[in-house]
């Protein structure tokens, strides 16, 4: 389950930010996760709860914002919504789609006290 290593990386970033800002606790972490990424949001939520126990982020709320997939078709040159990484272009039917959005995961916001 790679969500555990992702949760550990998020916690490291959160702890570094909290230390830099001399925070007493972390109240909220907001993540953006693309729908075309290989991240399972509920598994990540479970792992985040596990890795934050005993840390400055224990009991912090985790908000996950889903980012829609989008891609550019190399065949017809159109930008289209994408629901799967290897899907066909809805305009021309080509499978030569290059994802341009929705594959990312990033920490968007950290709320601290």
CA distances from 4 to 7, 40, 43, 64, 84 (A): 5, 11, 8, 16, 23
**% of residues, the chain, pLDDT over 90:** 97
pLDDT digits 0-9 by tens, 12-57 = 999 999 999 999 999 999 999 999 999 999 999 999 999 999 999 9
Sequence ranges of the domains in the chain: 2-112
113 in helix, strand or coil? coil
22 Ramachandran zone, left/alpha/beta (phi>0; psi -120 to 50)? left
d(CA 29, CA 55): 14
Instruction: With cut-offs at 50, 70 and 90, classify the pLDDT of residue 1.
Output: low
State which fold the 2-112 domain adopts: hypothetical protein PF0899 fold (3.30.2320)
Sign of CA dihedral 12, 54, 18, 26: positive
* Mean pLDDT for all residues in the chain: 96
User: What are the residues whose beta carbons fall under 8 Å from the beta carbon of 58, sequence distance 6 or more?
Assistant: 52
pLDDT at position 77 is 96
- What's the pLDDT at 29? 98
């Amino acid at each position: 389950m790679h969500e555990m290593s992702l949760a550990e990386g998020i916690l490291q970033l959160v702890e570094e930010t909290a230390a830099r800002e001399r925070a007493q606790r972390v109240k909220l972490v907001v993540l953006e996760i693309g729908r075309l990424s290989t991240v399972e949001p509920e598994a990540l939520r479970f792992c985040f709860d596990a890795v934050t126990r005993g840390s400055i982020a224990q009991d912090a709320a985790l908000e996950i914002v889903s980012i829609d997939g989008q891609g550019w078709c190399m065949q017809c040159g159109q930008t289209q919504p994408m629901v799967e990484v290897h899907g066909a272009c809805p305009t021309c039917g080509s499978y030569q789609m290059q994802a341009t959005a929705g594959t990312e995961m990033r920490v968007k916001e950290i709320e601290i006290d």
